Structures are given as C-alpha cells and as structure tokens.
Structure 1
C-alpha cells in the first residue's frame, strides 16, 4: 500500500475540512530536511518564497498551525508512514539519477 493511501485512511470525518494531503506531506518533508520545530516550519512556509512555492502556498490561510502540523507528524510517525515516505522519496530520486 502506498504512503498516500495509508495517509488518506487516517483522515477523520469530523471537524474542519482537512488540508491538502500533498501540501501537508511537502511541509512535513521540509520540516525534516531542515530540522525545524512545528512552529518554525509554519513560520518558514509563510515567510520563505522558496518554501511557499514548494508547498503550493499562496496565502497564510493555506498553512496549518503548529498544533495541526504536530498532530499530522505524530500520525505519520505512530503509523510507520514516515519511514515509508522517505524511502519512496529516496527511491524516486535514485530513479531520476540513474536515467
């Protein structure tokens, strides 16, 4: 089962409309690559043009707050999705390098 399929299964049905999964995963990747806190990541996505462009963010309204990002991170970690996500990224990068 792919990472995206696993993450979609974890989304709840109550509460506000969830943030776009791809955007959340991109934010999570940046957080890990730059070793940022939840709040630090949110600030960088809002303030940095490079981070905003990578995450597809046009407005600060499209960026989750630090608590939401932390909950998302914990869900990925608790369900073993973090390792699968990074393994997929490495595999795809290696495929691009080999071509």
Structure 2
C-alpha cells in the first residue's frame, strides 16, 4: 500500500530529470548495461525508507514482490541490480550532493499534499530452536 502511494504521488519524472545530467549514458567499462535512472532512484528511496544497505536492497528486491513492482523489475526478463550497481548509484548521488536535495523536494511535495513520511523497517522473522 505504501509503495503504491509513493508510486502514484511522487513526481518521478521530475526527480529523474534532476539526476540525468550526472548519470552516465552508458557503461564506461563495457560491462553490464546501466540500469535506468528511474529504477535506480526508486531503489535509492527504498534504501532510505526501509534502512537497507546495498546488499540488503539487492536481497529485499529478490524477496519482495511489492518492491520489485515498485522498481519495475520483472524477474522473468531481467535480474535485480546487484549490490555493486546499487552502490555505484548511491556514490553518484553522494558525489553530486543529490540525495539531500531530492529528499527535501519529496518531503516538500508530500507536505503540500497533506502527507508526512518517516522511516520504517522491514521485520525479518526467523524460526529458531530454543531450549524448553
């Protein structure tokens, strides 16, 4: 429900335009093709909203259908970006001081629409053997 709301109300195309001048158009190393700005930005927001590390974000995307739908990943056609790809995008955001400004704009936009956002966590329940 939360991700559906964020998908609908945030101005994703405007947020992507702010990053576009800094995002390389192709892979410089000839390796994997770059993921689109929209997808990587959505992953970046998931990391902040749910306090996910780079490897945690990769794992969460494999584990959560809702997160994959939010990002726009169909596992039948493509893999989830690996933690290195996620890390490189995060570093791009940090290098150009884009994260703080984007989150400020998002919070401003949400506020104008009568909404407030706070961080959450994903709870991982594991069954373990315990002494009786």
State the TM-score, normalized to the length of structure 1.
0.83
Structure 1 residues not aligned, in runs of 5+: none
Establish whether residue 49 from structure 1 lines up as the match of residue 65 from structure 2.
yes
Residue 19 of structure 2: aligned partner: 7
Aligned length: 97
The one-character-per-residue Cα deviations of 1:14-49 (angstroms, maximum 9, x if unpaired) are 424321111111110011111111011011012101
Unaligned runs of 5+ in 2: 1-13, 116-132
Larger radius of gyration: 2
How big is the alpha-carbon RMSD for the aligned residues of Structure 1 and Structure 2?
2.0
Cα distance change on mapping 1:13 and 1:49 into 2, 3 Å: closer
Report if the CA contact (8 A) 2:26-2:34 is conserved. no
